[in-house]
Chains A and B, each alone.
Chain A
Amino acid sequence: MSSLATMLKAPGALHEVDDDPEAVFEFLCSKGWSDGLPVIPPTPDRVERMLSFCDRDFDKPVVKIPPRFGAATPIRVAANAVMAGCKPEYFPLVLLALEALAEEPYNLYGTQATTHPCTPMLIFNGPIAKEVGINAGHNAMGNYFRANASIGRAVRLALVNIGAAIPGTGDMATAGTPAKFSFCVAENEAASPWEPLHVELGFPKESSTVTVIAAEGPHNINDHESITAEGILTMVAGTMTITGSNNAYYAGQPCVAFGPEHAQTVAGDGMSKADVKQWLFERATLPMSRFSKEGIERRFRRKLPEQYATAPLDAPVRMVTKPEDLIVIVTGGAGKHSAYVPTFGNTRSVTRALKRADGELVKSIQELKRG
């Protein structure tokens, strides 16, 4: 295999700039390689350190990212990870997320280019999330934690810089979402009364996975009063039922992220995850009459005729087309809050496990350290 120095001799692989952080930032912004926030300059030394946790060929594309279908080689992804502020041990998780996003069911082309404000929500499960410090406790969906912030940011930078999801040309989002800066969480498996997401999906408990969802930003579900499963789920269903959601029209997989306290109350009444999904499938509905007359005629009756062509105005419009489509996780710290995450709709979640080049599950991120 060629050395990194040899690979970086390829045309266009390097740019010479003034040795000044502001000058580097100005240069990157002038080229459109930015999310608008300051970055760490991706010097060859830093990129090499980032690649110290990469067991792939540095110059072989891992995936191609639409709409440009740019080749995401480890070198290019590492440059974005450096810019984002990642530690080298985060890098395999950035690559893993990009691989998941590139799987056909996710519909990366559609989610990159749409006018809808969707962005990848990264949900990490398994021991490596804890090992590298992805926060699953207080403010799990918010700021402050380097792993959450920089892993999600690195993925978004790669989508922009390698895939050309540039607002107004490749990313046509009408208004977008602040979640496009980063949306990366771990499931709080220790505080969950249920099996974690990856185990529910058939992965071994000891595996480390990422699940990617083409998500809107989260909407809070505040419920300090309910002390029963029915009470909390009533509030969840109420938050899920909104007319402007793509999930009212498409077979998407929205996510309910229970706070641990809500989850314990629901599970304490004997409800499994499957029970929760069934309950919300049946009750997270709106009567068709809540939509506009034009929406009823042009969307429901004309585009979904099998369900709604002759349906009465009080026909239920469901937010998930089948119970198992609802993704249920537990994340966050103490407090009587949960979150609802609507999706792009025409997308499916994808879950991938972190594996070594020989196909074995990675038990510790240190297994991927080179040398």
Chain B
Amino acid sequence: MAKIFIVAPDAPMEEAEQLKSRRTLSSGGIRLGVLDNSKSNADHLLNLIIDGVKKEFKVDSVVIKRKPASSRPATDQILDELAKEADLVVSAMAD
């Protein structure tokens, strides 16, 4: 059968930017960040995760931030605060 060309209607995923800085854990323990998406049961799930992390690792501090609405991105302020106050961030949703 004869062949034809068609134009691709899709778009490739752009390559993610490389991390601009390396995260190194402080010698004491983890500064754990938690981003709650504000769904009804997200806080319960995240508290279970916090308890689990604490059992496995030394945790110096926990900072919890909550999005005002689950269906909107976290604000720059929330992300900046998490970047400043946490070594790693757990983000999860539950409903």
Residues of A within 8 A of B (CB): 8, 12-20, 23-24, 27-28, 31, 33, 41-44, 47, 65, 68-73, 75-76, 78-80, 82-83, 107, 109-111, 114, 157-158, 161-164, 250, 298-299, 303, 344-346
On whether the beta carbons of A15 and B6 are closer than 8 Å, the reply is: yes
- Which of A18, A33, A303 lies in contact with B9, CB distance below 8 A? A33
Q: Report if B19 contacts A (CB, 8 A).
A: no
Residues of A within 8 A of B9 (CB): 28, 33, 42, 76, 79-80, 83, 157-158, 161-162
CB–CB B11/A72 < 8 A: yes
Query: How would residues 8 to 49 of chain B score, 1 for a CB under 8 Å from any chain A CB and 0 otherwise?
Result: 111111100000000000000000000000101000000000
**How far apart sit A71 and B38, CA to CA, in the bound complex (Å)?**
30
Given A18-B3, A79-B9, is A114 in contact with B14 using a C-beta cutoff of 8 Å? no
Contacts of A158 in B (CB 8 A): 9
Known interface pairs A12-B12, A13-B7, A79-B7; A346-B2 also in contact (CB < 8 Å): no
Give the A-B pair count, Cβ closer than 8 A: 104
Nearest CB on B from A116, distance (A):
8
Alpha-carbon distance A14/B5, docked complex (angstroms) = 6
Majority SS at the chain A contact face: mixed
> What residues of chain A lie closer than 8 Å to B3, measured between beta carbons?
16-19
Which of B52-60, B66-74, B75-83, B84-92 is the contact stretch? Answer: B66-74
Report how far A15 CA is from B9 CA in the complex, Å.
10
Q: List, in ascending order, chain A residues with CB within 8 A of B13's CB.
A: 68-70, 164
**Neighbouring A residues of B1 by C-beta, 8 Å:** 18-20, 23
A17: which of B4, B10, B11, B73 is its contact (CB, 8 Å)?
Answer: B4
* Cβ-defined contact, B72 with A346, below 8 A: yes
Return 30 A-B CB contacts under 8 Å, by A number.
A8-B7, A12-B12, A14-B5, A15-B5, A15-B6, A15-B8, A16-B3, A16-B4, A16-B5, A17-B3, A20-B1, A23-B1, A28-B9, A33-B9, A41-B4, A44-B5, A70-B11, A72-B11, A73-B11, A75-B7, A76-B9, A79-B9, A80-B9, A109-B73, A114-B71, A161-B9, A303-B38, A344-B71, A346-B71, A346-B72
A42 to B10, CA, bound (A): 12
How big is chain B's contact interface, by range? Answer: 20 to 34
**Which residues in B have their C-beta under 8 angstroms from that of A19?**
1-4
Q: What CA separation (Å) do A27 and B9 show in the bound complex?
A: 12
Report if A68-B11 is in contact (Cβ < 8 Å); known contacts: A15-B6, A19-B2, A41-B6.
Answer: yes
> Residue B4 contacts which of A8, A43, A344 (CB distance < 8 angstroms)?
A43
Select from chain A the residue with minimum beta-carbon distance to B38.
A303
In the bound complex, CA of A13 to CA of B7 (Å): 6
Complex CA distance for A158 and B9, rounded to whole angstroms:
8
Name the CB-closest residue of B to A110: B71
Please give the distance in Å from B73's CB to the nearest CB on chain A.
Answer: 7
Chain A min CB distance to B57 (Å)? 31
Residues of B contacting A20 in the complex (Cβ-Cβ under 8 angstroms): 1
CB distance from B10 to the nearest CB of A (A): 5
Expressed in whole angstroms, the minimum distance between the Cβ of B47 and any Cβ of chain A is 16
Chain A residues near B8 (CB, 8 Å)? 12-15, 33, 76, 79
Closest to B11 in A: A70
Cβ distance B71 to chain A, nearest Cβ, rounded Å:
4
User: How far apart are the CA atoms of A114 and B6 in the complex, in Å?
Assistant: 31
Please indicate the chain B residues that have their CB under 8 angstroms from the CB of A14 in the complex. 5-8
A225 to B10, CA, bound (A): 50
Closest to B2 in A: A19
Indicate which residue in A8, A18, A70, A107 contacts B10 across the interface (CB closer than 8 Å).
A70
